[in-house]
Amino acid sequence: MNKILILSHGELAKGIESSLDIFSVNKEKIEFFSAYTDDTDPMIQIDASVQEHIQEGNVIILTDLFGGSLTRFCLEKYHDNERVHIISGYNLALVMSLAMEKEAISQEKIEESIKQAQDDMKYVRLGGK
Protein backbone atom coordinates (compact mmCIF):
# COMPACT_ATOMS: atom_id res chain seq x y z
CA MET A 1 0.00 0.00 0.00
CA ASN A 2 1.29 3.43 -0.94
CA LYS A 3 0.82 6.39 1.33
CA ILE A 4 0.71 9.78 -0.34
CA LEU A 5 1.68 12.94 1.53
CA ILE A 6 0.67 16.15 -0.21
CA LEU A 7 2.68 19.16 0.98
CA SER A 8 2.24 22.82 0.19
CA HIS A 9 3.28 26.33 1.12
CA GLY A 10 0.01 27.53 2.62
CA GLU A 11 -3.31 25.90 1.86
CA LEU A 12 -2.79 24.50 -1.63
CA ALA A 13 -2.77 20.98 -0.16
CA LYS A 14 -6.09 21.66 1.51
CA GLY A 15 -7.40 22.88 -1.83
CA ILE A 16 -6.27 19.65 -3.48
CA GLU A 17 -8.14 17.76 -0.78
CA SER A 18 -11.32 19.67 -1.63
CA SER A 19 -10.79 18.98 -5.34
CA LEU A 20 -10.39 15.26 -4.68
CA ASP A 21 -13.72 15.34 -2.83
CA ILE A 22 -15.37 16.79 -5.90
CA PHE A 23 -14.09 13.83 -7.89
CA SER A 24 -15.00 11.40 -5.07
CA VAL A 25 -11.47 10.08 -4.90
CA ASN A 26 -10.83 7.86 -1.88
CA LYS A 27 -8.52 9.85 0.41
CA GLU A 28 -7.83 7.08 2.89
CA LYS A 29 -4.20 6.76 1.87
CA ILE A 30 -3.58 10.48 1.41
CA GLU A 31 -2.51 13.03 3.98
CA PHE A 32 -2.41 16.79 3.47
CA PHE A 33 0.08 19.20 4.99
CA SER A 34 -0.40 22.95 4.64
CA ALA A 35 3.01 24.19 5.78
CA TYR A 36 4.03 27.57 7.19
CA THR A 37 0.50 28.66 8.05
CA ASP A 38 1.68 29.01 11.65
CA ASP A 39 5.01 29.11 13.46
CA THR A 40 5.45 25.36 13.83
CA ASP A 41 8.16 23.54 11.93
CA PRO A 42 6.26 21.58 9.26
CA MET A 43 8.90 18.85 9.09
CA ILE A 44 7.99 17.61 12.57
CA GLN A 45 4.52 16.49 11.50
CA ILE A 46 5.64 15.37 8.08
CA ASP A 47 8.39 13.21 9.51
CA ALA A 48 6.05 11.67 12.08
CA SER A 49 3.75 10.63 9.26
CA VAL A 50 6.60 9.26 7.13
CA GLN A 51 7.93 7.21 10.05
CA GLU A 52 4.47 5.81 10.73
CA HIS A 53 3.76 4.72 7.16
CA ILE A 54 7.21 3.62 6.11
CA GLN A 55 6.73 0.43 8.11
CA GLU A 56 3.85 -0.67 5.90
CA GLY A 57 5.03 0.32 2.45
CA ASN A 58 6.02 3.11 0.17
CA VAL A 59 5.57 6.76 0.96
CA ILE A 60 5.14 9.20 -1.91
CA ILE A 61 5.77 12.82 -0.97
CA LEU A 62 4.38 15.46 -3.29
CA THR A 63 5.76 18.99 -2.95
CA ASP A 64 4.46 22.11 -4.65
CA LEU A 65 7.77 23.74 -5.67
CA PHE A 66 10.97 22.07 -6.80
CA GLY A 67 13.05 24.94 -5.40
CA GLY A 68 11.05 25.19 -2.19
CA SER A 69 12.26 24.40 1.30
CA LEU A 70 9.93 21.42 1.74
CA THR A 71 11.44 19.60 -1.23
CA ARG A 72 14.92 20.28 0.08
CA PHE A 73 14.18 19.23 3.65
CA CYS A 74 12.51 16.00 2.49
CA LEU A 75 15.37 15.18 0.15
CA GLU A 76 17.91 15.78 2.92
CA LYS A 77 15.96 13.53 5.28
CA TYR A 78 14.92 10.70 2.98
CA HIS A 79 17.45 10.58 0.14
CA ASP A 80 18.80 7.23 1.31
CA ASN A 81 15.44 5.61 1.96
CA GLU A 82 14.30 3.66 -1.09
CA ARG A 83 10.72 3.46 0.17
CA VAL A 84 10.32 7.23 0.06
CA HIS A 85 9.66 8.84 -3.31
CA ILE A 86 9.60 12.62 -3.69
CA ILE A 87 7.87 14.35 -6.58
CA SER A 88 7.82 18.14 -6.93
CA GLY A 89 5.44 20.46 -8.77
CA TYR A 90 2.33 18.31 -8.53
CA ASN A 91 -0.94 19.11 -10.24
CA LEU A 92 -4.40 17.66 -9.84
CA ALA A 93 -3.89 15.19 -12.68
CA LEU A 94 -0.83 13.73 -10.98
CA VAL A 95 -2.50 13.47 -7.60
CA MET A 96 -5.48 11.68 -9.12
CA SER A 97 -3.33 9.28 -11.07
CA LEU A 98 -1.26 8.37 -7.99
CA ALA A 99 -4.35 8.09 -5.81
CA MET A 100 -5.84 5.55 -8.21
CA GLU A 101 -2.71 3.39 -8.14
CA LYS A 102 -3.51 0.11 -6.41
CA GLU A 103 -0.15 -1.64 -6.74
CA ALA A 104 2.99 -0.81 -4.80
CA ILE A 105 4.53 2.15 -6.54
CA SER A 106 7.71 1.73 -8.59
CA GLN A 107 10.09 4.16 -10.20
CA GLU A 108 8.64 3.28 -13.61
CA LYS A 109 5.08 3.92 -12.43
CA ILE A 110 6.08 7.28 -10.97
CA GLU A 111 7.79 8.37 -14.13
CA GLU A 112 4.80 7.32 -16.20
CA SER A 113 2.41 9.25 -13.96
CA ILE A 114 4.58 12.34 -14.13
CA LYS A 115 4.70 12.16 -17.89
CA GLN A 116 0.93 12.01 -18.12
CA ALA A 117 0.50 14.80 -15.59
CA GLN A 118 2.96 17.04 -17.42
CA ASP A 119 0.90 16.52 -20.53
CA ASP A 120 -2.00 18.15 -18.68
CA MET A 121 -0.25 21.52 -18.60
CA LYS A 122 -0.84 23.14 -21.94
CA TYR A 123 -1.20 26.45 -23.65
CA VAL A 124 -4.81 25.81 -24.63
CA ARG A 125 -5.88 27.08 -28.01
CA LEU A 126 -8.57 26.03 -30.42
CA GLY A 127 -7.25 23.43 -32.81
CA GLY A 128 -4.12 22.87 -30.69
CA LYS A 129 -3.21 19.48 -29.31
Q: Give the max Cα distance, the chain.
A: 49
Per DSSP bridges, beta strands 3-9 and 30-35 are parallel
The nearer residue to another protein, 40 or 116, going by C-beta atoms, is 40
Q: Which residues lie closer than 8 Å to 111 by C-beta, 6 or more apart?
A: none
Question: Which positions touch another protein (CB under 8 A)?
Answer: 9, 39, 41, 43, 65-69, 71-72, 75-76, 79
* 25 vs 41: CA distance, rounded Å: 29
Residue 19 φ/ψ, nearest 5 degrees: -65, -40
C-alpha distances in Å from residue 97, one per residue of 2, 35, 46, 109, 117: 13, 23, 22, 10, 8
In the complex, the smallest distance separating the C-beta of residue 20 from another protein, rounded to whole angstroms, is: 24
In the complex, the smallest distance separating the C-beta of residue 69 from another protein, rounded to whole angstroms, is: 4
The nearer residue to another protein, 76 or 103, going by C-beta atoms, is 76
In the complex, the smallest distance separating the C-beta of residue 71 from another protein, rounded to whole angstroms, is: 7
The nearer residue to another protein, 28 or 76, going by C-beta atoms, is 76
The nearer residue to another protein, 67 or 128, going by C-beta atoms, is 67
